[in-house]
Each structure stands twice: as C-alpha cells, then as structure tokens.
Structure 1
Amino acid sequence: MNKEIKTGPIMTALLVAGFVGLFSETALNIALGELSHIFEVDPTTIQWLATGYFLTLGILVPVTGILMQKFTTRQMFMASLFFSIIGTVLAAIAPVFSLLLTARVIQAAGLAIILPLTQNVIFTIYPPNKRGGAMGIMGLVILAGPAFGPTLSGFILDTMSWHWIFWFTIPFLLFSLIFGYVFIPNVNETRQVSIDSLSVILSTIGFGGVVYGVSVGGDLGWTNGTVLGTIVVGLLALVLFAVRQTKMQQPMLNLKAFNYPMFVLGLMMNIIVFLNMLSMLVILPMYMQMALLVSAFVTGLILLPGSILNCILAPIIGRLFDKYGPRAVITPGTILIVIGYGLYAMYGTETAIWMLVVTHIIMMLGVGMVLASVQTNTLNALPRQFYPDGIAITQTSQQVAGAIGIAIMVSLFTAKQNNLLAGVASDFQTAAATGSAFVFKISLLLAIVNVILSLFMKRT
C-alpha cells in the first residue's frame, strides 16, 4: 500500500458523504403522509419522493462506471458533493412539491456517484487481504444510513418541521467536502474513453423503464397497460444494451465480468439481499404502525438496537472475512437471516415489543455478515481492469432490486390486506398483520435460496 495515501482520512470523507446520501434515501419515508397534506397531493404522487430517488440511482449508477474511467477521483468526488449539497439545500427550502421532487433527483445524483466511487477507491488503495475490513466499514455505512433514517427523522418530525430532515445533513456534507478536498488523491488511472450516447440512452430507458413500471405497478395494477408497457420496453432496451456492449471495442459497461462464475454467484446473492432488506425496511414499520399501533418514533427506536449492534460488529465481521474466507462468514449470516424472516412470518397483533427487538437484532446481524462479505468476494473475483464495470453492475443491480422489492412487496401487502378487509369481518390490525406475515414468508423463501447459494462460495 502506498505510504503517501492516508487511508483513514480518505475513507472518512467518502463514508460521511455516502452515509448522508443513504440516510436521505429513507429519512423522508416517515414524513410522506405529512408532506402529502402540506403540498396537497395524493399518496401516489407523494410516493415519487422515494421512487424518484431510486429511479435516478438506477439510471445514473451504470453511467458512473464509465465516468470513473474518464474523470479523476477528485473530480468525481467534488461533483458528487456539489450535487448532494445543492439538492439538500433546495429540498430544505422547497415551497412547492415540484421543487422538492427536483431536489430529490439532484440529491440522488450525488449518491449515484459516491457509492461506486467509494468501492472503487477501496479496491485501489487496499491490498486484497485488507479489503474485507474496509468493505465491512462501508457495509456499516450502507446499513446505518437507511436504518437510522426513520429514527432520526421520526425524532425531527416530533420536535421540529420536516425541513430539518435536510438542514440536519448540511454540516456533514460540508465536513466531507473540506476533508475530501484536502485528503483525497487521484487513485484511478484515467483513459480517453468516449461515452457512447446510444448506450446511455438504452441504459436509461432500460433501467428507468423497469424501475418506473414496477414502482407504479402497485398503484395502477400489474395488468395496467402503462405498467406492462414500460416494463416490456425497459427489458427490451436492456437486451439491446447488452448486445451493443458485446459488439463494441470500448463498451460503456464491460459485460466480460459475467465470465467469472464467482462474480455471477455473488451478484445473485447480492440482488436477493437488497431486494429483501430494502422491502423489509418499508414493510416492518408498516406492520408495527398498522398492526401493533406503535408511533413512528417508537418504530424507529425498536429498529435501533439491531442497527447499532450492526455498526459495532461490521469492522470485526470484515476482519473475520479477511482471515477465514467467505463461506465461514456468509453461510452463518444467511442462516441468521432465514431465522429472522421465519420469526417475522409468525408475528401477529399481540407480538411483544421485546420480541421484535430481538428478531431485528438477529436479522441485522445476519445482513451485516452477508452484505459486505458478498460484495468483497464478488469484486475480488475480477481482474483489476474490470473493477469499475463490476462495481457499476453490482451497484445498479442493488438499486434496481431494492426498488423492485419495495414495489412488489408493498403491493402484495396491500392486496392481501384489502382482500381480508373486503371479505369476512376482519379488523384493520389483523389484516395488516396477515399482510405483512404473507410478505415475510416470500422473503423467507428467497433467504433460503441464499443459504443454498452461499454453499458454493469460494475465496476469490
């Protein structure tokens, strides 16, 4: 490792910016109900504050792969912070819904750059035997941001106005900007790459179409012409995008990464983890607030111990990965996730709060063991020149899987709940509990698939 590179300050600058971006991803979810009254828009429209964020990530992350080869690390970092700060300030002062939505898109553009950039820097400045520890700390940030979002914003909403959800993050972004400006060197080798506009258009229509179609499917109905049309057009564009990449001498996204079996295996596991985890972060609060009648702030507090434990253990898990290899960490982690979903699927309207706290601790411990370790092993499977492409592929699939997971699981939850309410005299709480149990059973099946896949993991 190059002695001039100060890994500590570099990681601090990158991870603080990443934490704020991921915090912003979920922090607004609790405030959506209140914001729909303030801006006088219906629930479907207000949902775009969350959907628009995911959509922007799904569209921009694949493009970041090529930008990281064209521009220096410092240029990419400064651009990311520039977008994040402008988006956050605009959101904090937004007097109308359209400006708030625009601000969310600008914020997401900042996160779309910082996440792949951080992974790329880790894989460049750390030798293979230390990457697990560094990725463990990044995994902590990936989990802590979305996990603390609802708790902190619940507290802010109870004591101040919704604007403070955004003002709260500005000092952290300014700290990251100054720290990064001082310490972040150019670690990537830039090349004269031309950005193929047709690839960008196909990628945008492809990922954007799929995420948009799935996101509105729950509201418009899955058989709706617009929903089916955008998903089909999206999938066709992705097929054309993939075919074009294989024909180009300098592809926007090098799909040769798929020639490495451990990369493909890790990618599949990563998709399942994100689909399950991000939908759980939405369904679980809905279950607690609708079936157990717990307030937004208390919901955040119930989820807090699991998140804090995860933060404490993330670096240790990373070191265990470096020492004992992937299977020793990942397989036990996938089993803990299965236990977590198995317990969630059995809960009803009378579940004790302490049971939820314990289950969430088991779940988050499992996710912490799987998430960073799978990502490290997946990217370690690639030669160095494919890192930007491998990172772009994994990051894009994560965001798209998260958006799809939330949309499908929420619509299944709502459909099950509405069926019960329309049928026999079922009360609202029981219907909500049954709906969430149904969703958790589906997540349980996906989690079992991950246990099986983990058995084929090899150290890369």
Structure 2
Amino acid sequence: MADTVVAAAPPADSPRERWLAFIAIILGAFVAILNNSLINVAIPQLTTDLGSTTSRIQWVITGYTLASGIIVPITGFMEQRIGYKKFLIAALSVFTLGTAFCIFAWSDSSLIAARILAGLGGGVIMPLSMTIVYKIMPREQIGMALGIWGVAAMAAPAIGPTLSGYLIEWFNWRFLFIVCIPVALFAILMVIVLIKEPPKGARVKFDLAGFLLAATCAGTLLYALSSGSSDGWSSFKIVGLFFVAFWSLVFLIFVESGKDNPVIDISLFKNYKFTISVITSSFVMMGLYGGTFLSPLFLQNIQSVSPVHTGIILLPQAIAMAVMMPIAGKLFDKIGIVPIALFGLTLTSLMTYHLHTLTPDTSHLWLQVVLMFRGMGIGICMMPLSTVGMNAVAPEKVGKASTASNLVRTIAGSMAIAILTFLMQSRTALHSQQISESITLDGAQSLQSTLGSSWATITSGLITLDAYSRGIADTFLVSSIPLFCSIPFIFLFISRRKGVKAIKE
C-alpha cells in the first residue's frame, strides 16, 4: 500500500496561469458556501413572508444539504468522464440557476425546490475544486494553495451571518440570493477563460449500483440527523431512516470492494494516513460546526444581540481563520504535519473548552478574543490535516479521495449539529428543572414581595434564560471532546520506518 505517493504533476503552464486558474476555483467554492451560510439568519423572516412554519421552512437548509450529500458521490466519476473543467462549469451553472430561481420564489415549496436544485450543483463544487487544485498546482505549492482554498471553506460560513444581517435589515431576504448571482456568473466566466481543458482519459463505466447505495446512505442519514430533534430520535421514522442508512452502507462496502471503478473507493481507507486524515479533519469539522452553530444562538437568544451585531462579534474569528490558513499551508510544505496540527488542535481544543464558562453576563470582548484564538487554531490545523491525507493517495485516485473525504466531513458536520442540538435542549430542560426546584418557599415569598404581581412571569423568564445559558455552556464543553480526541491521532502521522526525522510529508 503506497502511503507516501503524492498528487499528479500539474500541466506545463506558467505560474501566472496556474494561480489565475486557482483564483477562479476559489471564487466558485466561496460563492457556493457563502450562499448557504446566508440562509440561517433569514429563517424567521422567510417563515413570516412566505406564510410557512419553522419546521417546514427549515427544509430550505435541509433540502440543500440532502441534495449536496446525494450528489457528492458522483464527483469522481464525472471528473473522469467529461473532465474537471466541464464538470465545474456544469456544477456552477446548476447552482446559479437554482439560486436565480430562489429570487423569484412565491411560496415555501417553490423556494425549497429551488434550493434543492442549487444543492445539486453546489454539493460537488467543494470536492471537485479540491481535486482541480491537486491537478493544476505543483507538489511544493499544494500546502499553501489548499491553505488559501480553505479560506473559502472556513471563512465564508463566518462572514455569512454578518452579510445576511445587513441584507435583511436594509433590503429583504431575496437579496441573499441576488448578491450571489453576479459572483457566480463571474466565477463561471473565469473558469471558462482561465482553466485549461484536461486531456481526455479512458472512458469509464458508471457504477450505478454504487451510486444508488451511496446516495441512499448519505440521503437517509442526513435526513435522519436533520429531522431527529423535531420528530423524536426514537420515532419510527428516524429509526427507520437510520436502519436504511446502516444497511445501505453495509451493501455499499460489499458491492464496491474489489470493483475497478467504484463511485466510492473503499480501498482508499486501507491507506492509514488517508484514514487518519479523514478521521481527524472530521473531528475538527464537528468542533467547528459546534461553535458556528452555538455562538449565534448564545448571542441572539440569550444576550438579545441583533443579527448584524452578531456577525460583527463573530467576524474576528473568520478573519483569524482566513489569515492563518495560507500561513499554515506554507508551513506544512516546509515542516510537515505533526508540529502544525498539534499546535492548531491544542489551541482549538482549549479555546472551545473555555467557552463552557459562558454566562448571560459574558462580555463581548472576552468572547471575541476566545473565538479569535479558536479561529486561529482551526485555520492552522484544518487544511494541513486534509492535505496530508490527499498527498498519501495515488495520483489517479485524487478525485475519488476528495469525494470520499468531503462526504465523510459533510456527514460529520451534520451529525455534530444534530447531537449538539439534542444535547442543548435536554441540558436546558434539566437545568430549568433544577433551578426551579432550588427556589424555596421563603425565596418565592421574597420574590413576590419584591417584584409584585408579575413576579411569576419575571422569575420564569430569568429561570429560562439561565437554564438556556447553562445548556449552551454544557454543549460547548461536549463539542470540545472530539477536538481533544483528535490530538493523539496526530502522532500516527510519524513514519515508523524513517523515525522522527520523517515527520515532514
């Protein structure tokens, strides 16, 4: 098993041509992720304007996620079949078309349908763009290139709430889609002009059975994770979805094993460096999604901060990630994965753990500083962890490896949100009960005499607020666990044959 084989050599283009093509790839990836991150803040207004319900309008997000998860397995095959340039243009075009339809949505159903269409294009943009980076960039520049590419992956979700807040406050929710159209069209134009068509490879047969099993597994699992909190984790529907997902995975492994051109190349996971890379980067993704999901809830629901101000408070974290990713990529090319990942993961873990001390009175400056250092840690470790795994696979399997790793990380992120949502709700209910039971009869009489006839309402509100705050703090504590668990895996990247000097890939 080759575990030190690197990506294929790039075409003989000039450095200027390669970096211009690289900018086109980044722009396409950025607009796809940014569009998706804009929606979260707009859910309340979408519910009101379209006369929908919260549970139904959540399908604007869920539909996109499901479509993305279902379509990702086809990425490697299409990249081989029609070439990465044509496939990227097609993906961006479908994404742009779906986003354009969102602008003219007249009901929740039409908006959900348009978002599903956008997800079919947007879902393949990230894994495909990662594959193209490996195809066009020289080996010695891969780390720095993926560090810059990672800015789109990590900074866009943090910038989204700020931009979304301004657009909703000054205009309306349709501008969340309007602003993306010119950027997406420009990205398509840049891809057409700047990226060269790769040479045609051998014609490959489509693995229909593998695709159907992979799509079923990803779709049912993502649907179960996104609906578990509302439908109940023990409900027949959710248990049935998990059952289908599990057996789809079992049959997928059986069907794909030993196949010449599988949709999901199971043999990749025999490469221990690739497998460790996927595991650790998925853990980091879970920690990242935990903070991205919990921080706005704390600021808006507990401290009553506006969406615009919430985005401003979270902005330093995004800037820290954006600044550190290219630096980490360059350091990775020079000194290897172990020192970078250890420092970045340790910093991220400690800062995430530190967030469990949040209270309703926590100052915004303190929160910004902690989140900024947390963003630095994520920016330092995230892309090097992905890069070391991709560098370990054979050149002809880069597309398959990108598909598999992105699919696993997508599921890991959705799983993190589902678990943390359930945990936050259960811990909030527990704290509310404990606080209520701690109020003695004398205490209740004292509150009544102090607050007057409205004492019950005021006390109930304070209990709810304090319990919610404690529930989020507990959830932050749990979200730090996968980050701490990932640290020991880093030492497995040290080559056993070459000793400590072989840390660098």
Band of TM-score, shorter chain: over 0.9
Which aligned runs of 4 or more in structure 1 are off by greater than 4 angstroms?
A: none
Q: 1:398 aligns with which of 391, 409, 418?
A: 409
Structure 1, residues 265-304: CA drift from partner, whole Å, max 9, x if none? 1110011111221232111100111222211111110110
Paired position in structure 1 for 2:150: 139
Paired position in structure 2 for 1:4: 13
Structure 1, residues 138-163: CA drift from partner, whole Å, max 9, x if none? 11110111111111001111111110
Paired position in structure 1 for 2:451: none
Instruction: Tell me by how many angstroms 1:187 deviates.
Output: 3.3
Instruction: Tell me by how many angstroms 1:127 deviates.
Output: 2.5
Report the Cα distance in structure 2 between the residues aligned to 1:266 and 1:405, rounded to whole angstroms: 18
What SS does the aligned partner of 2:264 have?
coil
Name which of structure 1's ranges 190-199 and 217-226 shifts more when overlaid on structure 2: 190-199
Q: 1:421 aligns with which of 423, 426, 432?
A: 432
Report the Cα distance in structure 2 between the residues aligned to 1:235 and 1:194, rounded to whole angstroms: 26
Matched, 1:321 2:332: yes
Matched, 1:89 2:110: no
Paired position in structure 1 for 2:490: 454
Paired position in structure 1 for 2:136: 125
Instruction: Tell me by how many angstroms 1:456 deviates.
Output: 2.2
Report the Cα distance in structure 2 between the residues aligned to 1:415 and 1:216, rounded to whole angstroms: 16
1:18–1:207 distance in 2 versus 1, CA, 3 Å = same
Instruction: Tell me by how many angstroms 1:84 deviates.
Output: 1.6
Instruction: Tell me by how many angstroms 1:352 deviates.
Output: 0.5
Report the Cα distance in structure 1 between the residues aligned to 2:212 and 2:70, rounded to whole angstroms: 10
Instruction: Tell me by how many angstroms 1:119 deviates.
Output: 1.0
Q: AA paired with 2:295? A: L
* TM-score (norm: length of structure 2): 0.88
Name which of structure 1's ranges 208-217 and 101-110 shifts more when overlaid on structure 2: 101-110
Superposed counterparts of 1:327-346, under 5 Å: 327-346=338-357
Paired position in structure 2 for 1:437: 473
Q: 1:14 aligns with which of 12, 25, 30?
A: 25
Report the Cα distance in structure 2 between the residues aligned to 1:20 and 1:348, rounded to whole angstroms: 35
Q: 1:388 aligns with which of 399, 404, 419?
A: 399
Report the Cα distance in structure 1 between the residues aligned to 2:409 and 2:122, rounded to whole angstroms: 13
What SS does the aligned partner of 1:94 have?
coil
Q: AA paired with 1:364? A: G
Instruction: Tell me by how many angstroms 1:188 deviates.
Output: 6.3
2:286–2:482 contact (8 Å) kept in structure 1: no
1:124–1:188 contact (8 Å) kept in structure 2: no
Q: AA paired with 2:477? A: K
1:312–1:390 distance in 2 versus 1, CA, 3 Å = same
Report the Cα distance in structure 2 between the residues aligned to 1:457 and 1:434, rounded to whole angstroms: 38
2:338–2:490 contact (8 Å) kept in structure 1: yes
Superposed counterparts of 1:179-328, under 5 Å: 179-187=190-198, 189-328=200-339
Paired position in structure 2 for 1:110: 121
1:336–1:366 contact (8 Å) kept in structure 2: yes
Instruction: Tell me by how many angstroms 1:422 deviates.
Output: 4.8
Structure 1, residues 364-384: CA drift from partner, whole Å, max 9, x if none? 111111111001001001111
Instruction: Tell me by how many angstroms 1:420 deviates.
Output: 3.2
What SS does the aligned partner of 1:330 have?
helix
1:51–1:403 contact (8 Å) kept in structure 2: no
Paired position in structure 1 for 2:448: none
What SS does the aligned partner of 2:257 have?
helix
Structure 1, residues 46-102: CA drift from partner, whole Å, max 9, x if none? 111111121112111111121111111221021012112101110111111111111
Paired position in structure 2 for 1:34: 45
Report the Cα distance in structure 2 between the residues aligned to 1:429 and 1:332, rounded to whole angstroms: 36
Between the aligned residues of both structures, percent identity stands at 25
Q: 5+ residue gaps in structure 2?
A: 1-9, 437-461, 495-503
Q: AA paired with 1:224? A: S
Name which of structure 1's ranges 373-382 and 276-285 shifts more when overlaid on structure 2: 276-285
2:320–2:373 contact (8 Å) kept in structure 1: no
Report the Cα distance in structure 2 between the residues aligned to 1:138 and 1:272, rounded to whole angstroms: 20
Instruction: Tell me by how many angstroms 1:411 deviates.
Output: 2.0
Q: AA paired with 1:4? A: D
What SS does the aligned partner of 1:339 have?
helix
Larger radius of gyration: 2
What SS does the aligned partner of 1:455 have?
helix
Paired position in structure 2 for 1:52: 63
1:189–1:417 distance in 2 versus 1, CA, 3 Å = farther
1:69–1:188 contact (8 Å) kept in structure 2: no
Structure 1, residues 103-130: CA drift from partner, whole Å, max 9, x if none? 1112222222221121111111223221
Q: AA paired with 2:332? A: F
Name which of structure 1's ranges 8-17 and 157-166 shifts more when overlaid on structure 2: 8-17
Q: AA paired with 2:471? A: G
Report the Cα distance in structure 1 between the residues aligned to 2:297 and 2:356, rounded to whole angstroms: 14
Report the Cα distance in structure 2 between the residues aligned to 1:8 and 1:392, rounded to whole angstroms: 23
1:125–1:187 contact (8 Å) kept in structure 2: no
Report the Cα distance in structure 2 between the residues aligned to 1:63 and 1:422, rounded to whole angstroms: 49
1:36–1:42 contact (8 Å) kept in structure 2: yes
1:12–1:176 contact (8 Å) kept in structure 2: no
Q: 5+ residue gaps in structure 1?
A: none
1:91–1:289 distance in 2 versus 1, CA, 3 Å = same
1:340–1:402 distance in 2 versus 1, CA, 3 Å = same
Paired position in structure 1 for 2:377: 366
Instruction: Tell me by how many angstroms 1:313 deviates.
Output: 2.6
Report the Cα distance in structure 2 between the residues aligned to 1:350 and 1:191, rounded to whole angstroms: 63
Paired residues, number: 460
Q: AA paired with 1:429? A: L
1:356–1:188 distance in 2 versus 1, CA, 3 Å = farther
1:326–1:377 contact (8 Å) kept in structure 2: yes
Q: AA paired with 1:428? A: T
Report the Cα distance in structure 2 between the residues aligned to 1:376 and 1:111, rounded to whole angstroms: 22
Report the Cα distance in structure 1 between the residues aligned to 2:11 and 2:408, rounded to whole angstroms: 32
